[in-house]
């Protein structure tokens, strides 16, 4: 089975070019050659040989190998026990970043994977998507994202965080806090909820964040909310109460006091000084830096 996917110009971050699976004949080979996109092979069973960028691997079921764009590669099925594999050809602005999160890169184009059975099911699901449906490229992109997620989950189960260098874990935790705040600042947030989401004790996460960023998690949240609020001030259809609720404050008075503490002006004064034309206010924007 091999199916090509029509290009949808609206899909830029990640999109599928083709997919398929094959129970190879003994010695079936491709290359040496190059591709202009990314291609991963998911080995369900059997054995084979893979070469890329001057290195070679003997591979077996439960492994994944990556062909990078414009990289000379070669692979061949074993003569005695040829592999049964599936493949995904894809491209996009975020493709390499997603692959790296799954542990695949130029220096490491081969990984072990404990989710090949589930990945096989997703390839079959791709084949079941109606070719006549105008939403097919989008539906297939969604299944491709799910494949990426399974590869990431596999990496985590095989190589849990305990094996990640401590400095990488710190960066991961800090980014997780920042991203969680940026995605949820408009809701009722607490440091305890953030710590629970990340899976760390509140005291440990708070201390780590303060040491690395220079302010507490609560202060980071407050400054982010105020920064978003300053942008919303340009919308004359929004009242101060509307803006307060939009950035997570049900109490307009508390929002005004917090805004004044950070910016040195009340929300109304800040909006007035902008003159309705986006003029910069007098408070030092350094107040909003983290």
Indicate the DSSP class of residue 60: E
Indicate the DSSP class of residue 106: S
Distance between CA atoms of residues 179 and 267, nearest Å: 26
What is the reported pLDDT for 167?
A: 60
**Which domains are seen in the chain, by residue range?**
2-159 (2.60.120.280), 164-290 (1.10.10.60)
pLDDT in tens, 97-135: 999 989 999 999 999 999 999 999 999 999 999 998 889
Measured over the CA atoms of residue 55, residue 60, residue 62 and residue 67, the dihedral's sign is: positive
| Angle of the 136-158 helix axis to the 116-128 helix axis, nearest 10 | 180
Helix count and strand count (H, E) for the chain: 10, 10
What is the reported pLDDT for 199?
A: 87
- CB of 278 within 8 A of CB of 234? yes
pLDDT in tens, 55-64: 999 999 999 9
The 3-state DSSP class for residue 83 equals coil
- CB of 23 within 8 A of CB of 75? no
* Short-list 16, 20, 73, CA closest to 48: 73
What is the reported pLDDT for 280?
A: 43
Full strand arrangement of the beta sheet holding 55-60: 29-33, 73-77, 47-52, 55-60
Q: Which long-range contacts (CB under 8 A, 24 or more apart) does 226-231 make?
A: 226/258, 226/259, 226/262, 226/263, 226/288, 227/288, 228/185, 229/255, 229/259, 229/267, 230/263, 230/270, 230/288
What is the reported pLDDT for 275?
A: 64
Distance between CA atoms of residues 40 and 87, nearest Å: 6
In this prediction, the residues of the chain whose per-residue pLDDT falls under 50 are: 162, 276-283, 285
């Amino acid at each position: 089975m091999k199916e090509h996917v029509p290009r949808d110009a609206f899909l830029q971050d990640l999109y599928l070019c083709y997919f398929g699976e094959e129970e190879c004949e003994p010695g079936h080979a491709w290359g040496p050659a190059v591709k202009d996109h990314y291609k991963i092979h998911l080995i369900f069973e059997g054995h084979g040989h893979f070469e890329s960028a001057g290195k070679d691997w003997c591979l077996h079921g439960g492994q994944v190998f990556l062909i990078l764009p414009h990289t000379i590669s070669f692979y061949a099925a074993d003569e005695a026990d040829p592999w049964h594999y599936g493949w995904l050809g894809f491209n996009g602005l975020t493709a390499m970043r997603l692959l790296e999160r799954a542990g695949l890169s130029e220096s490491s184009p081969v990984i072990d994977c404990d989710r090949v059975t589930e990945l096989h099911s997703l390839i079959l699901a791709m084949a079941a998507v109606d070719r006549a449906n105008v939403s097919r490229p989008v539906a297939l992109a969604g299944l491709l994202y799910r494949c990426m997620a399974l590869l990431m989950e596999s990496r985590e189960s095989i190589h849990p965080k305990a094996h990640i260098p401590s400095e990488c874990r710190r960066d991961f935790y800090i980014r997780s806090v920042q991203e969680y705040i940026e995605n949820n600042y408009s809701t009722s947030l607490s440091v305890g909820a953030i710590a629970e989401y990340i899976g760390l004790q509140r005291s440990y996460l708070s201390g780590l964040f303060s040491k690395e960023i220079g302010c507490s998690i609560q202060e980071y949240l407050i400054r982010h909310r105020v920064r978003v609020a300053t942008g919303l001030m340009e919308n004359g259809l929004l009242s101060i109460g509307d803006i307060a609720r939009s950035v997570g404050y049900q109490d307009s008075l508390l929002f005004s006091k917090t805004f004044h503490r950070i910016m040195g002006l009340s929300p109304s004064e800040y909006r007035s000084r902008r003159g309705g034309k986006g003029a910069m206010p007098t408070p030092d924007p350094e107040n909003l830096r983290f």
